[in-house]
Amino acid sequence: MDLSVVILAAGQGSRMRSKLPKVLHKLAHKPLLTHVIDVAEQLSAQDIHVVYGHGGEAVRDALADRNVSCVKQEEQLGTGHAVAQAVPNLVDDHVVLVLYGDVPLTTKETLQQLLEKVSGTSMGLLTAALPNPHGYGRIVRNSEQVVQCITEEKDATEAIRKITEVNTGILAVSGRKLKEWLGRLKNNNAQGEYYLTDIIAMAVSDGIEVKTSQASAVEEVEGINNRSQLARIERYYQRQQAEQLMTAGVTLKDPARFDLRGSVKTGTDVVIDINVILEGDVVLGNDVEIGANCVITNATIGDGSIILPNSVIENAVMGQECTIGPFARIRPETNLAAKVKIGNFVEIKKAEVGEGSKISHLSYVGDSIIGKDVNIGAGTITCNYDGANKHITEIGDGAFIGSDSQLVAPVKIGAGATIGAGSTITNDAPAGALTLTRTKQRSIESWTRPQKKK
Ligand code: UD1
Ligand code: CA
């Protein structure tokens, strides 16, 4: 059966107290709505329709590069009315799955189970057993436990309010039936809204069986209405990711203090200390160790490399057995070969660094091509920017740059060259030679120190 997905995202989410529409708030660095669209894509939906609301242009704009159709619900007249906005785009013989833009964590497996409930004579409804069902629509069953209808809390009698099986809102039904039932919805209820939930009683009277299924965790069907719920769901999600990594053989010193905001591929025996944040697409080779408080974004780290505490790495690739930090900053387009050592308070930007080279202390290296076994002394600066353009510094294999040197680019340091400490190098330095720019040292024997005035 072909599948269409309708995602309701017209709510403003006023309880977020934000200028951003609720569904664009982020969970693990990804908008809530994107989590929902991603799972719809995992289900191989033929088409995905996002219903956005008044002021929701930001939602539509955020989806410009996604393969979804956006439909505007001008006025929020209820969940049934919201789904009806997508109806002109729905194919009769597709199964339609209704999801919510503010319910980000429903899994593919849970939704597949729900979709299996749909046939020519049945539909699927995702329900949840909640000890405190307050606020939710209740699932009303007859004495044979057959679903009869959903009653919203505001329309419910005392007896119905005692029911703890609730409507998650997520359901799956044939497109043809959905269209027919939506056309018959009335808004004569406590909230004066067109309730999607009223289609359940219509299904029953049309002889369509309502088959229910449940998610494996309540967090999967939890909607986010405020920042407190967002934070709680974030922690739940992070904990799940941490558990998956530990199952895959990664040591997390404290799974409660680990955040993955993207994806990570890990080799064997990776060790991650506390307060590490991985973002985007990260690859950690075998035996990689990440120290406390590191932020690593879109990076590949080779086998046996060690990232010491408080280092920040972004859009970089490094080979095997490198040592980075503590307090190092590796900026975009940096490519480190194997066995490179980057020490404390070193900033590297857009640089190639050859195997075995060392930049151990307090340096800035940008727009540079550095050979093998180069030693860059403490406090070295590549002066890559003339105020208008960036220029390249090239340093040959085995060169030794004395401490506190400035290499004014464009400039080339030959292989095996030595630069005397404290030099400002503005012309190319030949291979093998010592180059230095330094005034002669002198001593003044007769000099006396100034005395403090009486
Ligand atoms: C709805 C269900 C209720 C269920 C609960 C689960 C109905 C009538 N009730 O209640 O049975 O237990 O969700 O959370 O369906 N929306 C629109 N356009 C609208 C109205 C709503 O897009 O005109 C969207 C909202 O942005 C929200 C979702 O639909 O994401 C649910 O709407 P909401 O008003 O919160 O429904 P509830 O009253 O909570
Ligand atoms: Ca709600």
User: pLDDT tens digits, residue range 284-323?
Assistant: 999 999 999 999 999 999 999 999 999 999 999 999 999 9
Query: Phi, psi (5° rounding) for residue 83?
Result: -65, -35
Kindly report the average pLDDT of the chain as a whole number: 97
Are 68 and 138 found together in one domain? yes
From start to end of 322-414, where are the E strands?
323-324, 329-330, 334-336, 341-344, 347-353, 358-361, 364-370, 375-376, 381-383, 393-395, 400-401, 406-408, 411-413
Q: Is residue 136 part of a domain?
A: yes
Same domain for 194 and 252 = no
Whether 206 and 315 share a structural domain? no
Mean pLDDT value of segment 193-221: 97
- Let me know if residue 236 belongs to a domain: no
CATH number at residue 33: 3.90.550.10
Question: Do residues 122 and 215 both lie within one domain?
Answer: yes
50 lines ligand 1 (CB under 6 A): no
Is the per-residue pLDDT at 393 higher than 90? yes
Which tokens go with 279? 């973002």
The pLDDT of residue 282: 99
81 in a domain, yes or no? yes
Kindly report the CATH number assigned to the domain that includes residue 314.
Answer: 2.160.10.10
Assess whether 94 carries a catalytic annotation.
no
Q: Answer yes or no: is 56 within a domain.
A: yes
Instruction: Say if residue 52 is in the same domain as residue 165.
Output: yes
Statement to judge: residues 293 and 166 lie in one domain: no
The answer to whether residue 297 is domain-embedded is yes
- b vs e for 243-282, b when ≥16 Cβ sit within 10 Å of the residue's Cβ? eebeeeebebeebebbbbbbebebbeebebbebbbbbeeb
Last residue of a domain, one of 221, 253, 271: 221
Total domains in the chain come to 2
Pocket test for ligand 1, best of 36, 79, 99 (most atoms within 8 A of CB): 79
From the CB of 316, is ligand 1 less than 6 Å away? no
| pLDDT surpasses 90 at 12 | no
Residue 261 in tokens: 């905001």
Closest residue by CA, ligand 1 atom 33: 79
Q: What is the pLDDT at residue 54? A: 79
Q: Which atom of ligand 1 is nearest to the CA of 194?
A: 8
Range of the domain at 253: 244-435
Q: How far apart are CA 346 and CA 381, in angstroms?
A: 10
C-alpha 265 to ligand 2 mean position (Å): 36
Q: 81: Cβ below 6 Å to ligand 1?
A: yes
Residue 76 CB less than 6 A away from ligand 1: yes
Assess if residue 444 is contained within a domain.
no
The predicted pLDDT at position 85 comes to 98
User: Domain check: are 252 and 383 in the same one?
Assistant: yes
Distance of CA 119 from the midpoint of ligand 2 (Å): 28
150 in contact with ligand 1, CB cutoff 6 A: yes
Q: Ligand 1 centre from 79 Cα, in Å? A: 5
**What digits encode the pLDDT tens for the residues 70-128?**
999 999 999 999 999 999 999 999 999 999 999 999 999 999 999 999 999 999 999 99
Q: Are residues 201 and 249 in the same domain?
A: no
CB 278 near ligand 1, within 6 Å: no
User: Is residue 442 assigned to a domain?
Assistant: no
Residues 257 and 197 in one domain: no
Question: Looking at residue 1, what is its pLDDT?
Answer: 81
- Model confidence, pTM: 0.94
